[in-house]
Copies of this chain bind each other. A is one copy, B any other.
Amino acid sequence: MRAFPNTDERINKPDGVILLALAAALFCLPSASRSQEQQQPGVFSDKQLRQAVELRDLALSSADAFRHVASLTMEVGPRLAGTSGDKAAVAWALATMHELGLQNVRAEDVTVSHWERGTIEVGITMPYPQPLAATALGGSIGTPTDGIEAPIIRVADLDELSATPDNEVAGKIVFFDRRMQASKDGDDYTETVKARRDGPAKAAAKGAIAVIIRSVGTSSARLPHTGRTRYDDAIRQIPAAAISNPDADMLAMQLAGGEAVTVKMNMSARYLEDERSANVIGEIRGASRPDEIVILAAHLDSWDLGTGAIDDAAGIGIVLETAAQIIRSGRKPARTIRILLAADEEFGLSGAKAYADRHMAELHSHVVGMEADFGDGKVWRISTLFPDDRLEIATAIHAPLESLGIELGDNKTGSGADISEFKKLGMPVISLGQDGTDYFDYHHTASDTLDKVNPENLRQVVAAFVTATWLAASGDVDFGFREPEEETEE
């Protein structure tokens, strides 16, 4: 009896459907997960669980998110906010949603910045001249037309910069040289990206004339990574670029020699006029609770260097195919499942902000939010951000995910950026954490291309998304709503 806890009372119920569901579960699931799937009788109905498991198993064998990824990356390709690719992506998303049978398909206008990477040449000029593979950080200004040439000093990170006297920084180029470590959850990104985001402003405040960072990435390919930097309105803007890991090694090695090292940079990055883009939205309308929304987000824009396959065509494929699997099943959820393909996640989050502004009146109708923006890795952990008294829901959602190799994480997850505005205001969040061990080998580089996406992995991810989505949307489980978060300075 210990092997099948909590099952007796249901087996004794005069309900053939439940017996069928149990039988199906016993036949279809590895033994390790059998018991858990039945452990939370109070959270989801047996019917919901049975349907979720059916959808899950169908997705494992039939989901074809890869097709959407291939289509978006081949037919549209790079789609940086404001570019023609960005507009083509919006058209692609509208057409694809219609084709998949989503309802209320629409584009909601978003105004986006339009920054142009331009050309770049960076090289060591002393003591040993060497070209460096470099790219502008997103939002950087360019250099004067003739470029700039100056001594360069190395600091590991913002802390070391802060500890360096201003007179050692003034008039120089600052080289931030922290190497990112790969891991399953990619958590070293958070620490390493600080110099990319804030380094130029902090260095300029000390009198630096430009910044070069070691790419925030884990690849040994000689391809620099890009990503947004942000200036401080009160501080002079200075040009900022990233160099690849091998180039950072070269620069660090020349600096380690003890001789003065000078670097020349010439960049033509600049801003053009703002452009119009759009959040693209489609829904599966809820049958009985249509005004309650389970939102699944991914972002439609990408950086310009690659074709945005892992970032975030993979996420687009995952959330679109999650909807497609549910539509094809013929099942109608109680709640509305809303797919948000957000504009401009990479450059300014203007899509996320525009969605929040436009839908603020619906804030409390957002029952729970999920986002796919971490590539093609299999889901290995489900984490949540629920009110503290609703943790049994997390356990109940986890049960049918266990056979997919997914463990139950904590209740402290962040969210993807596209749903972060409502998350800050208290919307519950489910994070299906994907294995990102190799994500930062390709992320924000020219190598972010379709060949990095594993179709088999995506099937598992869709299976996880469809399971969680169905459990959240098919009944009336009350996720509650969290307290709004306090504003903290990042």
Asked whether any CB of chain B lies closer than 8 Å to the CB of A130, the reply is: yes
User: Which single member of B75, B76, B307, B447 contacts A221 (CB below 8 Å)?
Assistant: B447
Across the interface, do B246 and A451 meet the contact criterion of CB distance under 8 Å? yes
**A219-B221, A253-B74 known; A246-B133 Cβ under 8 A:** no
**A246-B450, A249-B451, A449-B250 known; A128-B75 Cβ under 8 A:** yes
Which residues from 128 to 158 on chain A have a C-beta closer than 8 Å to any C-beta of chain B? 128-131, 133
Asked whether any CB of chain B lies closer than 8 Å to the CB of A181, the reply is: no
Measured CB to CB, the nearest residue on chain B to A452 is B220
Asked whether any CB of chain B lies closer than 8 Å to the CB of A463, the reply is: no
Which residues from chain B contact A221 at a C-beta distance below 8 Å? Answer: 219, 221-223, 447
Q: How far is the CB of A67 from chain B (nearest CB, A)?
A: 12
Asked whether any CB of chain B lies closer than 8 Å to the CB of A446, the reply is: yes
By size class, the interface of chain A is 20 to 34
User: Which single member of B77, B222, B250, B447 contacts A446 (CB below 8 Å)?
Assistant: B222
User: Which single member of B253, B254, B447 contacts A220 (CB below 8 Å)?
Assistant: B447
Q: In the bound complex, how far is the Cα of B77 from the Cα of A130, in angstroms?
A: 7
Q: In the bound complex, how far is the Cα of B219 from the Cα of A220, in angstroms?
A: 11
Which residues from chain B contact A250 at a C-beta distance below 8 Å? Answer: 74, 307, 449-450
Q: In the bound complex, how far is the Cα of B219 from the Cα of A70, in angstroms?
A: 20
Q: In the bound complex, how far is the Cα of B48 from the Cα of A353, in angstroms?
A: 78
Q: In the bound complex, how far is the Cα of B451 from the Cα of A398, in angstroms?
A: 42
Q: In the bound complex, how far is the Cα of B141 from the Cα of A293, in angstroms?
A: 61
Q: List 15 A-B contacts (CB under 8 A).
A: A70-B253, A74-B254, A77-B129, A133-B446, A219-B221, A221-B221, A221-B222, A221-B223, A223-B223, A245-B451, A246-B450, A246-B451, A249-B449, A249-B450, A250-B307
